Amino acid sequence: MSARAPQIFASHSQYDSDIRKSFSEIFAIAGAMPKYMEFERIYPPAWKEIKEQIRISEAVFLLLGPNIRRSGFTENWVAFEVGLSCAFGKDVWVFEPMDSHIDFPIPYLTDYMLYNLDIQDHFDYIRSVMEGYKRPLTIFPLGDARTKRNIPEGVTMNCTHENCLSNFQLHTDVPNLYCPVCRQIIKRPETV
Tens-digit pLDDT profile for residues 126-145: 999 999 998 876 655 567 78
Best CA proximity match to 117, nearest among 175, 60, 65: 65
- Residue range(s) defining the domain that contains residue 32: 7-187
Examine residue 74 and state whether it is found in any structural domain, yes or no: yes
Domains: count for the chain = 1
Backbone dihedral angles phi then psi of residue 81, each to the nearest 5 degrees:
-65, -40
Mean pLDDT, rounded, for 151-163: 95
Question: What's the pLDDT at 56?
Answer: 95
Structural element, H or E, at residue 28? helix 17-30
- Single pTM value for the model: 0.92
Average of pLDDT values for 149-177? Answer: 95
Residue 173 confidence class, pLDDT cut points 50, 70, 90: very high
Strands across the sheet with 7-12, in order? 33-35, 7-12, 59-63, 91-97, 111-115, 167-170, 155-158
Q: Residue 157 falls within a domain, yes or no?
A: yes
Has residue 91 been placed in a domain? yes
Mean pLDDT over each residue of the chain, to the nearest integer: 90
Please count the CA atoms within 13 angstroms of the CA of 82 that sit on its side-chain side: 22
| Residue 191 pLDDT exceeds 80 | no
| Spatial separation of the C-alpha atoms in residues 114 and 174, rounded to whole Å | 9
102-133, pLDDT tens digit by residue? 999 999 999 999 999 999 999 999 999 999 99
Q: Is residue 129 within a helix (H) or strand (E), and if so which, with residue range?
A: helix 120-134
2 located within any domain: no
Q: What is the CATH number of the domain that holds 117?
A: 3.40.50
**Percentage of the chain lying above the pLDDT 90 cut:** 76
Are 155 and 188 contacting, i.e. CB atoms less than 8 angstroms apart?
Answer: yes
Per-residue confidence (pLDDT) for residue 139, from 0 to 100: 58
Residue 1 domain flag: no
Give the mean pLDDT of 10-26.
94
Residue 192 covered by a domain: no
